[in-house]
Amino acid sequence: MSEVALPAATEARRPVTGLWLLIVAIAISLAAYAMAGLGLKGRTPRDFVVYGLVFTGAFVAGWLVVRWAAPRADPVLYPTATVLAGLGIAMLYRIMVARGESTIAREQAMWLLVGLAAFCLTLWLVRDDRQLNAYTYTLGLIGVVLLLLPVVPGIGREINGARLWAQVGPFSFQPAEFGKIFIVVFLASYLTDKQELLAAGSGRFGLPRAKDLGPLLLAWGASLAVLFLERDMGASLLFFGVFVVMLWIASGRAAYLWLGLVMFAAGAWFGYLAFAHVQARVDTWLYALDPDKVTGLGYFQLAQGWFAMATGGIVGTGLGQGSPTLIPYVGSDFIFAAFGEELGMIGAVALLLLYLILIARGLRIAMERQDTFGKLLATGLTTIFALQTFAIVAGVTRLIPLTGVPLPLVSYGGSSRVATFIMLALLIRVSSGPMERVHG
Amino acid sequence: MDRRIRRLGIGLVVLFALLFAQLSYVQVIAADDIKAQPANARRQIIAEYRVERGPILSADGELLAHSVRNQERRSELLFRRVYPDGPLYAGLTGYYSRIYGRAELEQAANPFLSGDAPELAVSTFTDLILGRERKGGAVFTTIRSDLQEAAALALGDLPGAVVAVEPETGDVLALVANPSYDPNSISSGTDEDITEAWDAISTDPEQPLISRAKDELYLPGSTGKLITASAALENGVDPVTDQWPNPRVLDLPQTTNTLENFGGSLCKGGSQTVSMAEAFQESCNVTFAEIGLDIGAKEMSEQALAYGFCPTDPPTQVECEEPTIPFVLPWANGRFPEPSYFADRQPQLAFSAIGLDNVLTNPLHMALIAAAIANDGVMMQPRLITEVRDPTGKPVREFSEEQYGQPISDESAKEMRAMMLSVTQGGTASSAFAGFPIAVAGKTGTATNGENRPPNAWFTAFAPAGPGDEARIAVAVIVLDGGNLGNEATGGQVSAPIARQVIDAYL
């Protein structure tokens, strides 16, 4: 099926298209920022010019780094990420100003710059993605350590009932956000090595030997530990999902997919029976609008999210014209509902289409690569990105019980912003191939 | 491997398709149901307060209610509602409270004020397209602010009500009730302020939220003789030549009960017989009881029904669900027993003929009856709103005057007018109108009000009422519990002077 050949070694891929898309992305981002101010206060934000210059400068600089470090990169990924990040800041600005916390939007804009810097650094450091293939177990170990870091006494911090935070000195961050990158790279690398073994199945019952499955089971165990010890259903779900998908892609055995689904169902059932916080999540999901329960915090949040989106209707109230601040934690978990209210179903669908564009390009990159590692890495990164987006949007819209994961590039959170940019850099690296070819 | 990646892609697209389906459910299909959830009230209120709600104006251009931009920083509520002369117009404007809802015109005219009415669709759509803040329509009422003020001044602090209508159109010119309340206190401010004010107003034993002018029912007393006299005229009684016996005490049929004139006096100085016109001028109870008994229950009830009274059957408490005379605001129109009630209750018929027993009315209804007599027997529906204009000032809806019916003939109306004129010229209201330059046709009433309470004092009138005059105002006044005269109060002494001031202010 890989009829699309790797592009000719030195040929830069459609730089003009990429630049035009970037200009459009920046224009939409800044227009959204201006409109948020207009809708909220009847004037453009006071720092509009400064913000506009910094935003434009930073993202153009990032684009130049891509042109230099990854000239054959996919031209669509970067501008799509730009417009998502820009819309996210505009909405955060709108929410935080309405709450009188305008500095938080500025803080998130700072994190955006840090994320861009991490993006450039990743592109510069990882000159060839196959470098990563050499450190399979090291990367896997780092991933597991990061995942479990919040459990370590003295480092871990519990916020709102989930133990997701690690504090090292003055810095606090969500290690799982970075851990997932390492886990995906580890899985890509490990599965590349063991692909044939896993596909053939030389143990009992036609399944691979325990020795070959060991590290995989360890990764899976770590994701379960996340669920039990950190009470983070979102991350746990994400790891398990990407794990099963990559196993299936690498081995070609659909049995892994079905086995994964059965295990997931069993795990979910067990989790529901054993853990009060899982039961609570399911109960809030089922009875969010129950008159007797609707004032309870979790129920209230889901109900307010629905009210917001229902109020928005098809065309929305307009940026700055709705009341998204009625939703608890609207800037983090529920920012999608704010888009649904103020930009309507049209805006919400447009936002999801942007994510679908990233997903489609990510999978296309995977198919364009000839080597297994590149394919698996691109697939893994794309899958984790897609599942994360699905989990939070489906949770907010009450399609499934809510799992608190950030909406990539959009919702509040420094760790998530930086981690997503690193993933984006890796995906762009995979799409461009090694840097040496250009210079060498 | 590529085939599996492609399948993964399809799988992810399916997942996103589920999201699109869920979004269209929440945002389109079930949106209205979701928005209507009681738990969503806050968001609805915020949306409501984003609209610059239209003003309520008097006929002479005074603002009775309007919206001003909220100066509170970061308030979700962009506007707040202001009533420049709150307590004076509370019974008309009502209130607009984000916690306790709306009342009176704020409720009745809400689609116009909020801009939701189809007549304002063009205007609100233009606002939407141009990105302007949405504005509601302006509601123009028939109220004359100077007359309203004069009526309130005349009533002073006395508990009761004054209603003035224009006979020819049914326009409500003034509608004042005591005690009142300040709608500002429950329409804007912090949640705590509003709740506190509401608790005070709603638990006040005087019940200021219930307007004495239109929401409560009272025995009309002798003003009820307007119905009896009308029924008599319509049934062929000649007000001057037909005569009735004139005893000091009337023995009532079927019982040992008796009925006396006010203060136990003799009518017309104790002459052998008395005419209806003479009895009307002096408000003789004995004569009117005799007239009522002579006319009969059926005719009396029919006349009351023609005047818009709601037929009720007091023993079984069957009552009208809605007023029989339509009015834009909720109000309680009068009640008069059905003929069946009187079948074996002749004494009750006698008492009903003098506005007692189970006859009930309120000032608005009494003013409408006076207006019908003034308007040659044609009764108009009370009109409160004349037109609605969009924010640019363009009229989008006009309300024409509506006839309710013709309870009495032109001829009977003329005879009623002559009898009512005699009340202010040598009758029970003559002292109140001594030296008044305008001819006023009226009727006093002093209605018993329970065992140990002073009577309610009534007066209803229209003017000018001279021969050939077109009456321009009809008034009804009630002062509760004897006003400042206590047990000595009469309609002529307490209420007629108030009506005189109101008529004087208008003409």
Amino acid at A94: R
Q: Which range is least confidently modeled, A105-109, B226-230, B297-301, B501-505?
A: A105-109
- Neighbouring C-beta atoms of residue A18, cutoff 10 Å: 21
Given this model, what pLDDT does residue A209 score?
67
List, as one string, the DSSP characters of A165-218: EEEETTEEE-HHHHHHHHHHHHHHHHHHHHHHHHHH--SGGGPPPHHHHHHHHH
The answer to whether A195 contacts chain B (CB < 8 Å) is no
Considering only alpha carbons, which residue of chain B is nearest residue A40?
A: B74
pLDDT surpasses 60 at B348: yes
Cβ atoms of residues A338 and A322 within 8 Å: yes
Given this model, what pLDDT does residue A207 score?
64
* Ranges of chain A with pLDDT below 50: 1-10, 438-440
Q: Which residues of B touch A375 (CB under 8 A)?
A: 1-2, 5
What are the start-end ranges of the H helices in B30-144? 31-35, 41-48, 86-93, 104-108, 110-114, 121-129
The answer to whether A245 contacts chain B (CB < 8 Å) is yes
Cα torsion angle, A434, A437, B1, B3, sign: positive
Contact assignment for B23 to A340 by CB distance below 8 Å: yes
Q: Which structure tokens are listed for A65?
A: 């780094």
- Spatial distance between the Cα atoms of A73 and B446, rounded to a whole number of angstroms: 97
A152 in helix, strand or coil? coil
- Spatial distance between the Cα atoms of A37 and A320, rounded to a whole number of angstroms: 7
Q: What is the pLDDT of residues B474-495, one digit of tens each?
A: 999 999 988 888 777 888 888 9
Q: What is the pLDDT of residues B383-407, one digit of tens each?
A: 999 999 988 888 889 999 999 999 9
Instruction: Report the Cα–Cα distance between both ends of chain A, in Å, rounded.
Output: 30
Q: Are strands B258-260 and B249-251 parallel, antiparallel or unpaired?
A: antiparallel
The answer to whether A397 contacts chain B (CB < 8 Å) is yes
Q: Which residues of B touch A307 (CB under 8 A)?
A: 34-35, 37, 39-40, 43
Nearest to A423 by CA among A387, A378, A393: A378
| Max mean pLDDT range (A250-259, B115-124, B214-223) | B214-223
Contact assignment for B27 to A313 by CB distance below 8 Å: yes
What is the CA B461 to chain-centroid distance, rounded?
Answer: 16
Given this model, what pLDDT does residue B262 score?
81
List CB contacts of A205: < 8 A, sequence separation 6 or more.
none
Q: Assign B452 a pLDDT band (cuts: 50, 70, 90).
A: confident
pLDDT surpasses 90 at B1: no
Given this model, what pLDDT does residue A161 score?
67
Token look-up 């803040």 returns B133
What are the start-end ranges of the H helices in A369-402? 372-396
List CB contacts of A435: < 8 A, sequence separation 6 or more.
A69, A70, A127, A128
Q: Which range is least confidently modeled, A226-235, A311-320, B30-39, B229-238?
A: A226-235
Cβ atoms of residues A315 and A276 within 8 Å: no
> B412: which DSSP letter?
H
Chain A closest CA to B4's CA: distance in Å? 6
Cβ atoms of residues A277 and A426 within 8 Å: no
- Residue A152 burial (CB < 10 Å; 0-12/13-18/19+)? exposed
- Residue B52 burial (CB < 10 Å; 0-12/13-18/19+)? buried
What is the CA A301 to chain-centroid distance, rounded?
Answer: 22
Contact assignment for A295 to B19 by CB distance below 8 Å: no
Chain B closest CA to A345's CA: distance in Å? 6
Nearest to B460 by CA among B481, B472, B476, B478: B476
Given this model, what pLDDT does residue B88 score?
93
Given this model, what pLDDT does residue A3 score?
35
Considering only alpha carbons, which residue of chain A is nearest residue B13?
A: A356
Nearest to B218 by CA among B483, B455, B490, B474: B455
Given this model, what pLDDT does residue B183 score?
92
Q: Are strands B310-312 and B335-337 parallel, antiparallel or unpaired?
A: parallel
Q: Calculate the average pLDDT of chain B.
A: 89
Q: What is the pLDDT of residues A155-178, one digit of tens each?
A: 777 776 667 777 776 677 888 889
List, as one string, the DSSP characters of A300-324: HHHHHHHHHHHHHTTT-S-TTTS-G
Query: Which among B2, B8, B23 is the nearest to A345, CB-wise?
Result: B23
Contact assignment for A307 to B4 by CB distance below 8 Å: no
- Spatial distance between the Cα atoms of A297 and B465, rounded to a whole number of angstroms: 69
Cβ atoms of residues A273 and A258 within 8 Å: no
Contact assignment for A307 to B40 by CB distance below 8 Å: yes
CA distances from A420 to A381, A425, A426 (A): 10, 9, 10
Considering only alpha carbons, which residue of chain B is nearest residue A382?
A: B9
List, as one string, the DSSP characters of B154-181: HHTT-SEEEEEE-TTT-BEEEEEEES--
Q: What is the pLDDT of residues B276-315, one digit of tens each?
A: 999 999 888 999 999 999 999 999 999 999 999 998 887 6
List CB contacts of B227: < 8 A, sequence separation 6 or more.
B300, B303, B304, B307, B309, B336, B355, B359, B369
Given this model, what pLDDT does residue A214 score?
72
Q: Check: pTM over 0.80? Answer yes or no.
A: no
Q: Which residues pair with B138 in a beta bridge?
A: B389
Query: Which positions 92-151 of A are in contact with B (Cβ < 8 Å)?
Result: 98, 100
Token look-up 């461009």 returns A432
Given this model, what pLDDT does residue B468 score?
80
Q: Which structure tokens are listed for A420?
A: 């997503």
What is the CA B443 to chain-centroid distance, rounded?
Answer: 19
Q: Are strands B395-398 and B79-82 parallel, antiparallel or unpaired?
A: unpaired
Query: Which among B13, B15, B26 is the nearest to A310, CB-wise?
Result: B26
Cβ atoms of residues B358 and B219 within 8 Å: no
Nearest to A246 by CA among A235, A256, A259, A233: A256
- Spatial distance between the Cα atoms of A71 and A63, rounded to a whole number of angstroms: 10
Q: Which residues pair with B245 in a beta bridge?
A: B273
- Spatial distance between the Cα atoms of A323 and A369, rounded to a whole number of angstroms: 46
Considering only alpha carbons, which residue of chain B is nearest residue A257?
A: B8
Residue of A307, A356, A361 to mutate, interface with B, max B Cβ within 10 Å: A307
Q: Assign B172 a pLDDT band (cuts: 50, 70, 90).
A: very high
Residue of B8, B14, B50 to mutate, interface with A, max A Cβ within 10 Å: B8
Active site residue: B222, B283, B301, B412, which one?
Answer: B222
B230 given a catalytic annotation:
no
Could you give the maximum distance between any two Cα atoms of chain A, in Å?
A: 70
Contact assignment for B38 to A291 by CB distance below 8 Å: yes
Cβ atoms of residues B503 and B473 within 8 Å: yes
Query: Which positions 224-243 of A are in contact with B (Cβ < 8 Å)?
Result: none
**What is the gyration radius of the CA atoms in chain B, in angstroms?**
28
Q: Which residues of B touch A303 (CB under 8 A)?
A: 37, 39-40
Q: Which range is least confidently modeled, A36-40, B272-276, B334-338?
A: A36-40
Q: Which structure tokens are listed for B62?
A: 């005074």
- Spatial distance between the Cα atoms of B12 and A386, rounded to a whole number of angstroms: 7
Given this model, what pLDDT does residue B392 score?
85
List CB contacts of B204: < 8 A, sequence separation 6 or more.
B179, B181
Q: What is the pLDDT of residues B245-261, one digit of tens each?
A: 988 888 888 887 888 88
Q: Which residues of A touch B12 (CB under 8 A)?
A: 359, 363, 383, 386, 390
Contact assignment for A394 to B18 by CB distance below 8 Å: yes
The answer to whether A192 contacts chain B (CB < 8 Å) is no
Contact assignment for A359 to B12 by CB distance below 8 Å: yes
Contact assignment for A314 to B4 by CB distance below 8 Å: no
What is the CA B126 to chain-centroid distance, rounded?
Answer: 37
Length of chain A: 440
Q: Which range is least confidently modeled, A61-65, A313-317, B16-20, B68-72?
A: B68-72
